[in-house]
């Protein structure tokens, strides 16, 4: 594979992995620990941002204290781990991954989900062979994907950022892409609503099939 070949960096949560219901449930479980009112999917998609403490600030009117953040983060991840087992791949995702690989193009996966839990989850769906690299988060949760993207692409020596497109469901995916000189397509089926995504200034689509089609055109 030459450096001019098109490459996709996929996001996991809310993109390939349709886990928004588990995320909303985990968020409300975390809120409940502080006596906060539960949040609807629509409100979540309108307000969600990273770093995650800033998202909580939008809802609480202030940043959570360090103690509050630790409590909420622990409850969130415990609830999510229990309920992710009911979630599956986004419709058509497995076929899109297989088709992209069959066409001789490369793809990788970069997630802010903890690496040690991400890898067996991806492997369990039988899609790991489609990726030339799978990276989850190392270090504390709640931050931006940008620096993780730097390390991810640096490890992919045959991949040129100019021919790379990040497909994700959050504004931060586009920020991370631009940080390394790549481009981005954002998908409305995850953490952000269309209005929030369109503010970023990159293509916004409603299906992963559309995302791949746009990515192919952008990375050519």
Contact 149, 179 (CB under 8 A): yes
How far apart are the C-alpha atoms of 131 and 195, rounded to whole Å? 31
What pLDDT does residue 1 have?
A: 45
Residue with tokens 């998908």: 187
How far apart are the C-alpha atoms of 72 and 111, rounded to whole Å? 20
What pLDDT does residue 142 have?
A: 67
Q: Which residues lie closer than 8 Å to 98 by C-beta, 6 or more apart?
A: 130
Question: pLDDT digits over 151-185, tens only?
Answer: 999 999 889 999 999 999 999 999 999 999 999 99
Residue 77: its H or E element: helix 66-83
Per DSSP, 34 falls in state T
What pLDDT does residue 141 have?
A: 75
Neighbours of 18 (CB within 10 A): 17
How far apart are the C-alpha atoms of 79 and 22, rounded to whole Å? 8
Q: Which residues lie closer than 8 Å to 193 by C-beta, 6 or more apart?
A: 42, 45, 46
* C-alpha to C-alpha distances, 184 to 83, 100, 110, 147, 163, nearest whole angstrom: 29, 17, 13, 16, 11
Per DSSP, 56 falls in state H
Burial class (CB in 10 A: 0-12, 13-18, 19+), 115: middle
Question: pLDDT digits over 110-134, tens only?
Answer: 999 999 999 999 999 999 999 999 9
Residue 124: its H or E element: helix 115-124
Residues 9-28 have a mean pLDDT of: 96
- The answer to whether the predicted template modeling score (pTM) of the entire model surpasses 0.85 is yes
What pLDDT does residue 157 have?
A: 87
What pLDDT does residue 49 have?
A: 87
Question: pLDDT digits over 49-99, tens only?
Answer: 888 888 989 988 999 999 999 999 999 999 999 999 999 999 999 999 999
Helix or strand or coil: residue 204? strand
Residues 146-155 have a mean pLDDT of: 96
Helix or strand or coil: residue 200? coil
């Amino acid at each position: 594979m030459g450096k001019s070949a098109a490459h996709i960096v996929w996001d996991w949560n809310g993109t390939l992995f349709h886990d928004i219901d588990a995320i909303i449930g985990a968020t409300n479980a975390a809120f409940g620990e502080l006596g906060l009112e539960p949040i609807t999917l629509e409100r979540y998609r309108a307000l969600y941002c990273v770093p995650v403490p800033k998202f909580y600030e939008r809802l609480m009117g202030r940043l959570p204290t360090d103690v509050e953040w630790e409590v909420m983060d622990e409850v969130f991840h415990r609830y999510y781990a229990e309920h992710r087992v009911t979630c599956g791949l986004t419709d058509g995702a497995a076929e899109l991954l297989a088709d992209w690989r069959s066409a001789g193009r490369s793809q990788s996966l970069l997630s802010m989900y903890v690496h040690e839990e991400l890898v067996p989850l991806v492997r369990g769906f039988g899609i790991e062979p489609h990726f030339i690299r799978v990276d989850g988060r190392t270090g504390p949760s709640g931050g931006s994907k940008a620096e993780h993207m730097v390390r991810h692409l640096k490890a992919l020596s045959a991949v040129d950022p100019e021919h790379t497109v990040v497909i994700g469901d959050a504004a931060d995916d586009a920020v991370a892409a631009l940080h390394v000189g790549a481009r981005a397509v954002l998908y409305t089926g995850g953490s952000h609503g269309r209005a929030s995504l369109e503010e970023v200034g990159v293509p916004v689509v409603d299906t992963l099939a559309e995302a791949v089609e746009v990515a192919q055109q952008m990375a050519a």
